[in-house]
Amino acid sequence: MFSKIMMPVDLAHLASLRRALDVAADLGAHYGATVVYAGVTAQTPGALGHNPKDFAARLDAFVAQESRTHGIAAEALALISHDPRIDLDRTLIKAVEDIGADLVVMASHIPNLTDYIWPSNGGTLAAHAKTSVMVVRG
Amino acid sequence: MTDETSNQGIPLPEGDAQLIDTDYEIGQDNIETQIGPFGVDIHNPVFLISGLCVVAFVFFTLALPDQADAAFAWLFSFATKTFDWFFLGTANIFVLFCLLLIVTPVGRVRLGGADATPDYSYIGWFSMLFAAGMGIGLMFFGVLEPVYHMAVSQPLGVASPFAADGSLIPENVEAAKKMGLAATIFHWGLHPWAIYAVVALALALFSYNKGLPLTIRSAFYPILGERVWGWWGHVIDVLAVFATLFGLATSLGFGAQQANAGLNYVFGVPVGATAQVLLITGITSIALVSVLRGLDGGVKVLSEINMGIAALLLLFVLFAGPTLLILTDFAEGLGAYLKEIVPLSNPFGREDTGFVQGWTSFYWAWWISWSPFVGMFIARVSRGRTVREFIICVLIIPSLVCVLWMAVFGGVAIDQVLSDPATSAVKANVIDSYNPPLSLFAMLEGLPFSAITSVIGIVLVIVFFVTSSDSGSLVIDTITAGGKVDAPVPQRVFWCVFEGAVAIVLLLSAGGLSSLQSMVISTGLPFALVLLVMCWAIWRGLRDEQS
């Protein structure tokens, strides 16, 4: 049913993504799909690396571990944005089209008052991506 | 080259760069938590101390206005008058240093690694650095300065074309006219842009090539080593936030007063606190939208719109005014600038102390106190350029645009003053009485369609403030988040609103704006030393890159 599943990841907050990560891996194993783990970084040095190369290396290591743990085919996709906090949704939506993902699994928080002002990334992706999106809350 | 590097996977390796090996991890001192529904990610001492210092200084200014005014006025006078030679001397060093970087082999070093590609096209990049750097000043000083220097301040002792009784002295006209343009271009040309270029290059180099966080403290790593992550660095970053926030808030306050004066001149809108508070609220609201749309969708778009409107106004004034005369002025002004740049920048033995201390020294302190903000913003958008390309584009091209702007606006204004001194509105508002906010509108009044062009002028003034406000908020947010550019959005909103609120509070207090602006400009003195150290750090960093 699905051949390529995209799972956006924030390497700084992996603990809060665990449920969604497991769902993505289970679906990948179930359908024999490749899970593409997408991370977004800026050009400037950040907490996850001195530069995008460092970031990409860290993402590769994480993806290799997920692949080993769950026995799935997995790929890393490091994306660069000038202003990741603002451009995250646009960057991910474009990546979904570019890689031809047929399902996106994404972690999100339980909606609260601020979502009326700043909608969650998962909610925005579900609203605007032209493919199936599974939002895993909590 | 493309503006669309976002949304792409990691490109080919960035090539060789000499990363600094440090144990410090960006964000390690940050507090990441949830306040109510909002997430925050702030640098532990820097955010809190900066915010508290700003509140404390505003409180001091409001609670003891006379003492604050006297203290800051003394500080300002001490910095710009006692150390005028120092400002002039250091600014000369920055220009020479930048020119040296263009011609030496270190100019080949690329910011971001040997194979890095530029993040922005030339137009987007240039618009952003220009709009943040000095756009607003051109609106107010483009008419005022050439006329004032020609007739009143008398740089290098060049005599005024007007006698004490207001009559014209024809034999003084040519020399005074050229000196008026040359002195103005001097204040807006190579020297200020060299100041910005030094700070921007230091930050870009230590961030993109050395892998340190994008905060002011990183440029001090070669001197302070690992201590830069401790209190030394905290103090540097707090000072930068402080100068940026007060610089923006006081400028916003004055800008609102000036826009109000313009609206009064053109439409008869009453001058008063209500109109000015509404203007600050409006400017802050637009800046907020721009900040929320991000660097590409907000700041860059607004900067490009801004530059487009400014270019249209420039072309209109060029063709509606005496075109041939303006073009001659442009060539003559440039020639006079090149001829007079050495005597004008001479720091010692000057007899025109009124001009040197009242104008040049003031300007140099002003540019230097703004340099952490503008420099950091330029650094943020300059990845992928070679050092040579960077210096040429930050130093030479903006200087030429300033020359053109001053020649067109100043040239038309000077022509109006000299051709009909008795009825010239520019003469009435610049020479006979000193009304800087009205000088632009007075000049436009002498051209066709002045009702339309004056409205465009007011819009430009407001939008230039918006572009300074939004880029300033991004810069402060990055510094107070310990160099992270992806801190939660509510933090940007906080700084943008805080800046507007400080401007409103200062505006409503008597003398608050001017006394705090004096204080901010005085910070130019210690920062001048800091910039000298940065030159050394840049040189060392670039030599390492080459090796």
Give the pLDDT confidence of A4-14 residue by residue, as tens digits. 999 999 988 88
E strands within chain A?
4-8, 34-41, 74-80, 103-108, 132-137
Distant-in-sequence, close-in-space partners of B324: CB < 8 Å, separation ≥ 6: none
Q: What's the number of CA atoms in the CB half-sphere (13 Å) around residue B237?
A: 31
In this predicted structure, the answer to whether residue B514 has a pLDDT above a threshold of 60 is yes
Residue B10 has a pLDDT of: 34
Amino acid found at B482 = G
Residues of A in contact with B296 (CB under 8 A): 82-83, 87
With CA atoms as reference, report the closest residue to B29 among B229, B222, B208, B212.
B229
With CA atoms as reference, report the closest residue to B220 among B18, B372, B46.
B372
- Number of domains comprising chain B: 1
Which of the 8 DSSP states describes residue B509? S
Residue A134 has a pLDDT of: 94
Residue B16 has a pLDDT of: 57
- Number of domains comprising chain A: 1
| Range with the largest mean pLDDT of A112-116, B311-315, B488-492 | B311-315
The residue with greater pLDDT, B515 or B187, is B187
Query: Quick one: which H or E segment has residue B8?
Result: strand B8-9
φ, ψ of residue B438 in degrees (nearest 5): -95, -10
Give the nearest partner residue to B485 out of A42, A78, A118, using CB atoms. Answer: A42
With CA atoms as reference, report the closest residue to B324 among B411, B235, B452.
B411
Q: Kindly state whether A113 is in contact with chain B, defined as any CB-CB distance less than 8 angstroms.
A: yes
Total residues belonging to chain B: 547
Give the nearest partner residue to B294 out of A50, A86, A112, using CB atoms. Answer: A86
In this predicted structure, the answer to whether residue B349 has a pLDDT above a threshold of 90 is no
Average pLDDT (A25-53) is 87
Confidence of residue B14 (pLDDT cuts 50, 70, 90): low
Q: How many CB atoms lie within 10 A of CB A60?
A: 14
Q: State which residue of chain A sits closest to B22, comparing Cα positions.
A: A50
**ipTM value:** 0.73
Residues of A in contact with B292 (CB under 8 A): 86
Distance, CA of B77 to CA of B96 (rounded, Å): 27
Confidence of residue B420 (pLDDT cuts 50, 70, 90): confident
Average pLDDT (B407-421) is 89
Note the pTM of the prediction, 2 decimals. Answer: 0.84
Whether B449 is in a domain gets the answer yes
CA torsion, ordered B438, B443, B445, B450, to nearest 10 deg: -100
Whether B271 is in a domain gets the answer yes
Residue A92 has a pLDDT of: 94
The 10 Å CB-count burial string (b at 16+, else e) for B181-219 is: bbbbbbbbbbbbbbbbbbbbbbbbbbbbbbbbbbbbbbb
8 A C-beta contact, residue A66 and residue A34: no
How many Cβ contacts (< 8 angstroms) between chains A and B? 104
Average pLDDT (B180-193) is 91
Q: Which domain holds residue B50?
A: 30-546
The 10 Å CB-count burial string (b at 16+, else e) for B491-518 is: bbbbbbbbbbebbbbbbebeebbbbbbb
Confidence of residue B134 (pLDDT cuts 50, 70, 90): low
Q: Residues B298-317: pLDDT tens digits?
A: 888 888 888 889 899 999 99
Confidence of residue B15 (pLDDT cuts 50, 70, 90): low
In this predicted structure, the answer to whether residue B9 has a pLDDT above a threshold of 60 is no
Whether B4 is in a domain gets the answer no
CB contact under 8 A, A47 and B484: yes
CB contact under 8 A, A46 and B484: yes
Residue B278 has a pLDDT of: 93
- Residue keyed to tokens 């207090």: B509
In this predicted structure, the answer to whether residue B28 has a pLDDT above a threshold of 80 is no
**Which CATH number covers residue B45?**
1.20.1740
In this predicted structure, the answer to whether residue B7 has a pLDDT above a threshold of 80 is no
Residue B1 has a pLDDT of: 37
Whether B247 is in a domain gets the answer yes
For chain A, what percentages of helix, strand and coil (3-state, to nearest 5) are there? 50, 25, 25
Distance, CA of B8 to CA of A98 (rounded, Å): 9
In this predicted structure, the answer to whether residue B395 has a pLDDT above a threshold of 80 is yes
Tell me the sheet residues that pair with B162. B168
Q: Write out the two tokens for B8.
A: 């792409």
Q: Under an 8 Å CB criterion, which residues of B touch A?
A: 5-11, 13-14, 17, 19, 25-28, 37-38, 112-113, 119, 207-208, 211-214, 292-298, 380, 383, 483-489
Distance, CA of B412 to CA of B416 (rounded, Å): 6
Whether B521 is in a domain gets the answer yes
In this predicted structure, the answer to whether residue B267 has a pLDDT above a threshold of 60 is yes
Q: State which residue of chain B sits closest to A110, comparing Cα positions.
A: B37
Strands A34-41 and A4-8: parallel
| Range with the largest mean pLDDT of B111-125, B232-246, B498-512 | B232-246
Q: Which domain holds residue A113?
A: 4-137
**Which CATH number covers residue A42?**
3.40.50.620
Whether B9 is in a domain gets the answer no
CB contact under 8 A, A86 and B297: yes
Average pLDDT (A72-80) is 92
Residue B6 has a pLDDT of: 37
CB contact under 8 A, B10 and A95: no
Total residues belonging to chain A: 138
Distance, CA of B492 to CA of B480 (rounded, Å): 10
Average pLDDT (A63-86) is 90
Confidence of residue B18 (pLDDT cuts 50, 70, 90): low
CB contact under 8 A, A94 and B488: no
Which of the 8 DSSP states describes residue B38? E
Distance, CA of B17 to CA of B363 (rounded, Å): 36
Average pLDDT, chain B: 85
